[in-house]
Structure 1
Amino acid sequence: MKISYKWLNDLIELTETPDELGRWLTATGLEVEGIEEVETVKGGLRGVVVGEVLSCEPHPDADRLRLTTVDVGQEAPLSIVCGAPNVAAGQKVLVATLGTTLYPTGSEQPLVMKKAKIRGALSEGMICAEDELGLGTSHAGILVLNTNLPNGTPAAEYLGMSSDYTIEIGLTPNRADAASHYGVARDLKAVLGKRIQLPAVATFRVDNHQLPIEIRVDNTEACPRYAGVTLTGLRVEDSPAWLKARLTAIGVRPVNNVVDATNYVCHELGQPLHAFDASQVKGNQVVVKTLPEGTLFTTLDGQERKLLATDLMICNAEEPMCLAGVFGGAKSGVTEATTAIFLESAYFSPAWVRRTAQHHGLKTDASFRFERGTDPNLPLYALQRAALLIQEVAGGQVSSEVLDVYPSPIADFQVPVKYRNVDRLIGKVLDRALIQRILESLDIRVEAVHEGGFTAVVPPYRVDVQREADVVEEILRIYGFDNLELSEALSSDYISDFPVNDPDKLRLRATELLAANGFQEIITNSLTKPIAQETLRESLLGEEVRILNYLSEELSVMRQTMLLSGLETVAYNLNRKQRDLKLFEFGKTYHKVNGKYVEKNHLSLLITGHVRPETWIEKAREVQFHDLASSVTQLLAALRVKSTETTEADRSLFQYGLTHTLNRKPLVSLGLVDPQLARLAEVKVPVFYADFDWDYLLKQYSAVVEYREVPRFPEVRRDLSLVLEKTVSFEQLRQLAERTEKQLLRKVNAFDVYEGENLLGKKAYALSFTLQDDQQTLTDKVIDKTMQRLMAAFERELGAVIRK
């Protein structure tokens, strides 16, 4: 929501600067998100001054040009060449001096004043027309002033064009009362102790009874109050400059003087109004009611809509004219041909307006306020204020009595308050008289005062103050959070919790993922044969842990790796004709390091046999390294571990494989188990194995989910074919690509690898690169430049031959 500083100053006298005002408003709960200077005319007419034409002679080499000398308050007059037909000696004019930047109407390019020669004559500035200054569209001639101001007076001073400031407030949904300049002024009145001066409506009077209108409210639940009056003899045209400037400063587009006046009052008081062309109010009757389900109605934007039975409508004697509190109709709006209007000011039920606005997808200034709750006591004053403003800018007469249908006035909220709860919630005992002064400054009356508390009588426009805690919040935000001293013992309550990583829940998540991918869980013995581990002694951590009172030599040491007990399970199943295996196990390994015993938690995966059983539609396929690698990648992603690096796995365990590292520490190793090692467990088929450091993996998990906005611009794929040395891995290619292009590269993928007799000692990669820019659509030039940079890096650092 935007508020104008100058507009606010009309309601409450302010000596504070916009920045100081922003701090006060934020302290009261109306958080100021930004303050921006607003110039009535772009550039603020800086460098444009009042001047006097001392002489005016024809240009010797141009019939339409004049040579003038102009006094602009400097030591010497300026020589200016002017082409305006109405320039003459003795005129007071507006002059753009050298160095001034103008923003002419209708031009995208600014105009900078420089010393120049025009047809051989020196020109030291410009005598300006209306459009050249950005004040309008006229270019018929220069502006001739009627003023006695001294030469050199700034044009902004002559025109009364001081800068305004727009204060942007992040209005919370509960503070509907502050959705206007008047609402903001009420908070400033309370915190600064100043008086509010609303525009007077004492001069409002009925001029005649030429256009009486009958009002009938059939649904008083949806419309508890409805007021209206007619005006005739109007001239609908552009609004005066001051009115346009006020609306433009807060981001409202001017339409015409009548509509602008209603918008002005809406943003001034927070009371939406609507003007109907009186010629469209058939039967001189306004009826507030609902219509049958499915009734068609064309709104002001030209769209035909099907009404709900719960859409409240403003109708004439024959047809609907407006979606009540939301949007006007195409037929009844004010146009340049309008000479008489019916002016509406009402209080609509928030629930009814909200339902209609949401169903039809309409969000307007009116619905924004009505669906949050407006002041039911304000429509009559706002109606008179708007009628007077319309008469000021569009002329006309009030041509009917003010009709106000308000059968059941809405009562104030009665909120019992106990002092002990005020003291407890604030954390400080405030003087009881101070509490009363604060509440009364917010228009909340304090009644039935007794030793233990009082009753707060809250006006109905404060829809957010209906409980005792709400009243306490009002006291506290005006008293000031900064005025609360910190106690020696602090405690806090949090609405949201801060979850701690639960190892059991994360283990369950991993278990469910693996089970869903066809893995079966096993539990193996932690005791193993000493001889089995001897073959791996160099790759194991520390010394083995021996059992003092072991039952047999084959179960005399604690395992130092999950692999051997896993292979024993594989052998057991193979001996029983169960050849297609996908197994996982959570377990511990045990080590003696520097005389201390160490327990480590692991997750191990083993796969062997076929990926899936043979069927009539698909032949059986032996498991491969990438089948296991895919499961490992899925598991890391599920536990939110993404940025790992890969190195070659330990060759004492694997015939080939990879180790994923994070912060240079191994996270998981996977690969094809060394056949000689497998034969120790009497396993003669290929077995792929992965070993997770489960303790380290849990430390990397974060309960915080990171969200990235869905890209607005399309991604682009480019393919590249390279021939490299056989020793170059895809991981080297990926890392080099990511180092070379950090901004646009989103993904690198290998979709084909070829090795054959015609590529001795080499292999061919077919890679795809996904490129994307979050700020704009990629152009061919940028894409080609990126790919050239990647190809150059592959050739330079890896000796690649690019196949083109």
Structure 2
Amino acid sequence: MNISFQWLKALVPDLKASPQEVGETLALRGAPLEGLVDLAPGLEGLVVGKVESVEDHPDADRLFVCRVDPGSGTVQVVCGAANVQAGGLYPYAPPGSTLPNGMTLKAVSIRGVESQGMLCSEAELDLGADADGIMALDGDFEPGAPLAPALGLDDWLLDVEVTPNRGDLLSHAGVARELGPSETGEVALPPVPGSGGDPWERTGLEGSTATVPLRTGESDAVGGGVTVRIEAPEFCSRYLGAVIRGVRVGPSPAWLASRIRAVGSRPINNVVDATNYVLMELGQPLHAFDLSKLGGSAIVVRTAQDGEIIRTLDGEVRKLGSDMLAICDAFEPVAIAGVMGGADSEVSHETTDVLLECALFDPKSVRATRNALDMSTDASFRFERGVDPEGMELAVRRAVEIILATAGGRPDPEVLDACPSPWAGLSVTVRPSRVKALLGITLSKAEIMGLLTPLGYRVVDGSGKDDSLTFAVPGFRSYDTVREVDLLEEVARTYGYDRFPSDLGPFRPGTVPDHPLFQLEDELRDLLVGEGFLEAQTMAFAPESDGVVEVSNPVSKEEAWLRTRLLPGLVRRVEYNFARGLRDIRLFELGTVFRKGEDGEDGAPQERPRLAITLTGARSPMHWSGAPAEVDLWYLKGLLERLVEAARLQGVSSVPGTPSGSGLVPGEGFTLVAGEGREMGFAGRLDAGEVDAPAWAGPLWVLEIGLPEVPGPRPVPLYEPPPAFPGVDRDLALLLPRGIEVQQVEAVIRETAGPLLVGLGIFDLYEGEGVPKDHRSVAFRLRYQSKVRTLTDQDVEQSVTAVNDRLREELGVETRG
């Protein structure tokens, strides 16, 4: 939001702060500055010059000799611009002055004719791109007047960052309310130069400083031969139409044009500039129609017919849809509601009668129309965030007063007011006890009132239970102040965030436990961080090749789908680290993947929690005692088993082999399957074609598993006393035929050995001489132990014999002699 510092000072006469100090104050109130610009750098010494005569140069075809009055006598200036005319006003730079580009002027002779200074173009003043012609000054200026004030540029431009919920700050009055609050939150508007007072005094009707004489109808209002009718009350709850007859459209006076320039806009004419002035001062968008160009002298607010055409003020021809709100005359659209007016009904120099529009449009409707037409304007920006429903009459009065002062004319006795849905005020209650509980500070009722009433909140009930206070919410804050916590935010903001104590006071933590899935994710984080992993968070968007659910409003066309896997985004993070010379990388991500809903394209997408990890390089950090081992498949499998156990995945096992489409190297990975054969994840070495890795990088090992949406209860650790009786170990060297997996052998051993088996592990793997072809020798160590007695050799031998017999019968596994 562009804010003029001089305009602010006019609204807050007691403002003593500098532009920089104003920026600091606004930042503490939640509206920091995005920029602070001096509007008049390099214009010192430049003045307004009046050209008294223009003659051809005696010795040059394309040059002219001008007699210029800079306020201190006539001087001679040689000029090459054909647009210079006698009687015109132009920027004049005298000898000795310095232009914004750093060039210092002096009196020179041009083709034998002396030139004392120069008349300047927009480009030479760094005020625009036009370098072909001299910059003409429109308005009532005195020769010799300093140029910067004449252009309204002796000012600072404050670029205020406004959050979407603070539409009230999209005006000078809104910002002034933050800087110089009165006791009631009202901002005193400066007088209009040349104003004759109440615009309706000459009609014989009484007015006031905040209201206008109205002719109100529920859906239509008729007066003075003009009709205003609302046919779409769900999109427009109120429409004011003020008619001004006999205006003289022309250039705006200097004070009005300078205000418009100061906020970065271009003056157009006195009527249009009046509407833009009110837009910037009060935040209420207005639009002026040429009444003679409105068919049937009517305004009809309705939804457009599908395919209706309108040529807007920017010269573009736009096709409207049936869901868009249009402002029409009796026959066709003349404006796009809340966005832009039509070129065929705009105010021109031939206009004599004006209909001034002030409306309250639905923010969602304006936003949808603006998005569909791919256009954004100052008006739509404000309507989307909500304009003040209580400030419409004041905006009309202000605009009419400015038009009468600058363009003359006479307003119709009454303003037409179609109002099918009158605005109902809102009240919100705040409790001092809640202030203390939420903000940690103690404030009395009087202190709370002192903080809120200057912002426009009015106490309507101060005798509630628990010393509560009920405030009427002003219209300009009715969009974002609807709950008690919203008022508490205003209390904190106005009290000053910098005044809150820095010490941590006593508090009671919440008693609601986290969701079991969140608890599980925290446990997995702790486990992986303990293993040296870093957590990554990647975007949930993916190209079409990695997604099945399309995003209706994608951030980019390249990532217009929701991801089905976490690994692609995580692999991109590995590539990012590779590109910066890192070799040992351990990353994990806990995130959500998406599938189509049960109803196909029309159903809501399904979300599934997943865990993915990537690791490459050494197993442990470098140490002087020796080079660390590299990550391999077995390290990854051990990590997979620990994660399956930590994730409380019941009935899940890992089987050798990689699923299709996983991008893993065949034969170097595992698939995680549930009891019914459902795939739950995978782990293994990523194919080199799936990652952009440098030559010095090691293999990239990856893992991705699904997590339960509602995890089972956390296992309760049980105490067991140390064994009182010794254990017995037995080693079995078994010959496993090709195709028999170790986990099959382990399952048979555990089922057959009985309850005395307390430990089972592998301590040797051998293939080579002495081992039959297509076999491998795997050595298992079985540990037997009883809690109540010392085991005998017979106890152990019986179990081992039973194990060997069953392995031979079911799996064809023999003991190695």
* Counterpart position of 1:631: 687
Distance 1:492 1:60, change over 3 A: farther
In 1, Cα distance between the equivalents of 2:140 and 2:167?
48
- 8 Å CA contact 2:335–2:342 kept in 1: the answer is yes
After the TM superposition, which residues 657-736 of structure 1 pair with which residues of structure 2 at under 5 Å, given as runs?
none
Structure-2 residue corresponding to 1:474: 490
CA contact (8 A) 1:199 1:385 kept: no
Moved more, 452-461 or 178-187: 452-461
Q: 1:355 aligns with which of 368, 373, 380?
A: 368
Is 1:336 the counterpart of 2:339? The answer is no
Task: Kindly indicate whether residue 696 of structure 2 is the aligned counterpart of residue 646 of structure 1.
Answer: yes
In 2 relative to 1, CA 680–79 (structure 1 residues): closer, same or farther, beyond 3 Å?
farther
Aligned equivalent of 2:265: 252
Distance (Å, rounded) in 2 between the aligned partners of 1:131 and 1:290 = 46
The match for 2:189 among 182, 188, 198 is: 198
Contact 2:151/2:258, CA 8 A, preserved across alignment: no
Q: Distance in 1 between matches of 2:245 and 2:474?
A: 35
Partners in 1 of 2:66 and 2:300 — Cα distance? Answer: 67
**Residue of structure 2 aligned with 1:299, choices 297, 300, 312:** 312
Which amino acid counterpart does residue 239 of structure 1 have in structure 2?
S
Aligned partner of residue 310 in structure 1, secondary structure:
coil
* Higher mean displacement: 322-331 or 240-249: 240-249
The equivalent of 2:403 in structure 1 is 390
3-state DSSP class of the match of 1:112? coil
CA deviations over 1:218-247 (Å, ceiling 9, x no partner): 333322211112223333333334333322
Among 443, 464, 468, the residue aligned to 2:456:
443
Distance in 1 (CA, whole Å) between partners of 2:435 and 2:695 is 58
The one-letter code matched in structure 2 to 1:238 is P
Aligned pairs (5 A) from 1:350-429: 350-399=363-412, 401-429=414-442
Structure 1's 356 and 492: CA in aligned 2 closer, same or farther, altered over 3 A?
A: farther
Cα offset, 1:585, TM superposition: 4.6
Partner of 2:375, secondary structure, is: coil
In structure 1, the residue matched to 2:728 is none
Distance 1:326 1:586, change over 3 A: same
- Calculate the TM-score normalised by the size of structure 1: 0.55
**2:252 matched residue in structure 1:** 239
Counterparts in 2 of 1:353 and 1:140: CA distance versus 1, 3 Å: closer
Tell me the amino acid that sits aligned with residue 470 of structure 1. Answer: D
Q: Residues 378-400 of structure 1: CA distance to partner in whole angstroms, max 9, x if unpaired? A: 12221121122123333333245
Residues 49, 97 of structure 1: 8 Å contact kept = no
Q: Which residue of 1 aligns with 2:813?
A: none
Provide the C-alpha distance between the structure 2 equivalents of 1:543 and 1:167, rounded to a whole number of angstroms. Answer: 62
For 2:338, the equivalent position in structure 1 comes to 325
Counterpart of 1:30? 31
Asked whether the 8 Å contact 2:49–2:68 carries over to 1, the reply is no
Q: TM-score, structure 2 length as denominator?
A: 0.54
Which secondary structure state, in structure 2, belongs to the residue aligned with residue 646 of structure 1?
coil
Change beyond 3 A, Cα 1:66–1:481: closer
Q: Distance in 2 between matches of 1:423 and 1:291?
A: 52
SS across alignment from 1:177: helix
* Equivalences, count: 539
Q: Which amino acid aligns with 1:458?
A: V
Contact 1:206 1:398 in 2 (8 A): no
> Structure 1 residues 126, 482: CA separation in 2 closer, same or farther (over 3 Å shift)?
same
Task: Name which of structure 1's ranges 9-18 and 446-455 shifts more when overlaid on structure 2.
Answer: 446-455
**TM-aligned CA distance change 1:321 to 1:159, over 3 Å:** closer
Structure 2 partner of 1:483: 499
Give secondary structure in 1 for the equivalent of 2:492. Answer: helix
Distance 2:188 2:283 in 1: 16
C-alpha spacing 1:372/1:542, structure 2 compared with 1 (3 Å): closer
Residue 126 of structure 1 is matched in structure 2 by: 116
User: CA, structure 1 residues 541+18, in 2 after alignment: closer, same or farther (shift >3 Å)?
Assistant: closer
8 Å Cα contact 2:107-2:116 kept in structure 1: no
Change (3 A) 1:366 1:47: closer
Question: 2:469 corresponds to which letter in structure 1?
Answer: F
Q: 1:82 to 1:493 in 2, by over 3 A?
A: farther
Distance 1:383 1:199 in 2: 16
Equivalent residue for 1:113, pick from 105, 123, 126: 105
Q: What one-letter code is carried by the residue in structure 2 that aligns with 1:393? A: T
In structure 2, C-alpha distance between the alignment counterparts of 1:375 and 1:396, rounded to whole Å: 28
Q: Aligned runs of 1:142-153 on 2, under 5 Å?
A: none
Alpha-carbon spacing, 1:232–1:584, altered in 2? closer, same or farther (3 Å) = same
> Residue by residue, what CA displacement relative to the aligned partner does 1:330-369 show, whole Å, maximum 9, x if unpaired?
3222233323221111112223322322232232111111
The Cα shift of 1:112 comes to 3.3
Query: Residue 4 of structure 1 aligns to which amino acid in structure 2?
Result: S
CA offset at residue 6 of structure 1? Answer: 0.9
The 8 Å contact of residues 457 and 472 in structure 2, kept in 1 or not, is answered as yes
**Could you tell me how far apart the structure 2 residues matched to 1:442 and 1:222 are?**
29
* CA distance, structure 2, for counterparts of residue 144 and residue 409 of structure 1: 43
Match status 1:459 vs 2:474: yes
Contact map agreement 1:296 1:307 (CA 8 A) in 2: yes
Counterpart-to-counterpart distance in 1, 2:166 and 2:116: 51
Structure 1 residues 302 and 194: CA distance shift in structure 2, 3 A: closer
Which range is displaced more, 228-237 or 12-21?
A: 228-237
SS in 2 for 1:21: helix
Which residue identity is paired with 1:219? Answer: A
Contact 1:95 1:127 (C-alpha < 8 Å) held by counterparts: yes
**Superposed counterparts of 1:608-627, under 5 Å:** none
Q: Give the secondary-structure state (helix, strand or coil) at the position aligned to 1:308.
A: coil
Q: Is the 8 A contact 2:93 2:119 kept in 1?
A: no
Q: 1:32-58 deviations in whole A, cap 9, x for unaligned? A: 22211112xx7314366999x9xxxxx
SS of 2:446's equivalent?
A: helix
What corresponds to 2:43 in structure 1? 44
What fraction of aligned residue pairs are identical, expressed as a percent?
34
Pick closer, same or farther for the CA change 1:415–1:513 going to 2, 3 Å: closer
Residue 312 (str. 1) matches residue 325 (str. 2): yes
Return the letter of the residue paired with 1:126. Q
Displacement of 1:138 after TM fit? Answer: 6.3
* Contact 1:212–1:230 (CA under 8 A) maintained in structure 2: no
Rounded Cα–Cα distance in structure 1 between residues aligned with 2:66 and 2:366: 65
* Whole-angstrom CA distance in 2 between matches of 1:360 and 1:140: 35
Shift in CA distance, 415/236, structure 1 to aligned 2, threshold 3 Å:
same
Displacement of 1:311:
2.2
Structure 1 432/584 Cα, relative in aligned 2: closer, same or farther at 3 Å? closer
Contact 1:231–1:396 (8 Å) recurs in 2: yes
Q: Tell me the equivalent position of 1:101.
A: 98
CA–CA distance in structure 1, aligned partners of residues 60 and 302 of structure 2: 71
In the alignment, is the contact (CA less than 8 A) between 1:297 and 1:304 conserved in 2?
A: yes
Provide the rounded CA distance (Å) in 2 between the counterparts of 1:205 and 1:60. Answer: 58
Q: 1:206 to 1:70 in 2, by over 3 A?
A: closer
* Whole-angstrom CA distance in 1 between matches of 2:256 and 2:770: 91
C-alpha distance in structure 2 between counterparts of 1:233 and 1:69, whole Å: 36
Please state whether the residue corresponding to 2:476 is helix, strand or coil: coil
Q: Look up the match of 2:178.
A: 187
Instruction: Give the root-mean-square deviation of aligned CA atoms.
Output: 5.7
Q: Distance in 2 between matches of 1:238 and 1:344?
A: 21
Alpha-carbon distance in structure 1 between the residues aligned to 2:321 and 2:690: 49
